[in-house]
Amino acid sequence: MQADSWEPDVGVQRRGAEHRSGCPINLTLEVVGDKWSLLVVRDMMFGNRRHFRELLAKSEEGIASNILADRLKRLVGQGVVSKAGDPTHKQKAVYSLTEKGIELLPILAQMSAWGLRHLPVTEELGIRAKLLDEGGPKLWAEFMDELRETHLGISRRRKPMPGASVSERLQAAYEAVVAKRSTP
């Protein structure tokens, strides 16, 4: 192979075939770049929503059931989410983030921080973003370990910090803002 000839990775075809290009940003957008996929991942990550009905009923943005079904199918097909039968109910499925899905956390944290700086984010929906931005990569790593334990059943890589988990702290901060806003 000559030094000046480059061949794309296996699975990445030339323009017009399987992918538009071999650019990592393009390829990532092909997986999660529509307007719903990252919101489904967000709800699984931050809301621990693992069933179709939870994802549908508690969607802040009001996702339609056919769109949710399509996005879950795509995310499962791309290996971002896994689907397994629910041991408590034969007709239900449990969705879990895979390692690929969990590794989207820093992207979501950065997108959230950008949104906080540049867009009219509400206080209650921005508090988690604020805490993730302030906590930075160390907090993200701790949260990713929690997600691995919850979604993959993998023991944490690091010893958990004393006190509440990251998930519990993010939820408590959200609930505190909601409570503050509802009191006269």
Give pLDDT tens digits for 156-182. Answer: 777 666 789 999 999 999 999 999 988
Residue 3 counted as domain residue:
no
Same-domain check for residues 30 and 73 = yes
Residue 94 has, within 13 A of its CA and on its CB side, a CA count of: 13
User: pTM of the predicted model, to two decimals?
Assistant: 0.85
- What is the DSSP secondary structure assignment for residue 62, as one 8-state letter? -
Residues 144 and 119 both lie in one domain: yes
Q: Are 40 and 111 members of one domain? A: no
Average pLDDT, the chain: 89
Whether 5 has a pLDDT exceeding 50, the answer reads no
pLDDT at 10 over 80: no
Number of domains into which the chain is organized: 2
Q: Pick from 97, 125, 143: which residue ends a domain?
A: 97
76-126 pLDDT, tens digit each: 999 999 999 999 888 899 999 999 999 999 999 999 999 999 999 999 999
Tokens representing 183 are: 């009191």
Tell me which residue range forms the domain holding 80.
20-97
Distance between CA atoms of residues 30 and 134, nearest Å: 30
Q: 110 and 86 in one domain? A: no
The pLDDT value given to residue 17? 61
DSSP-based three-state secondary structure for 60: coil
The secondary structure element, H or E, covering residue 52 is helix 52-57
Residue where a domain stops, chosen among 97, 126, 141? 97
Give yes or no: residues 173 and 135 share one domain.
yes
The residue with greater pLDDT, 156 or 14, is: 156
Give me the pLDDT at residue 124, please. Answer: 92
Domain assignment present for 158: yes
Binning pLDDT at 50, 70 and 90, where does residue 20 land? confident
Q: Is residue 15 part of a domain?
A: no
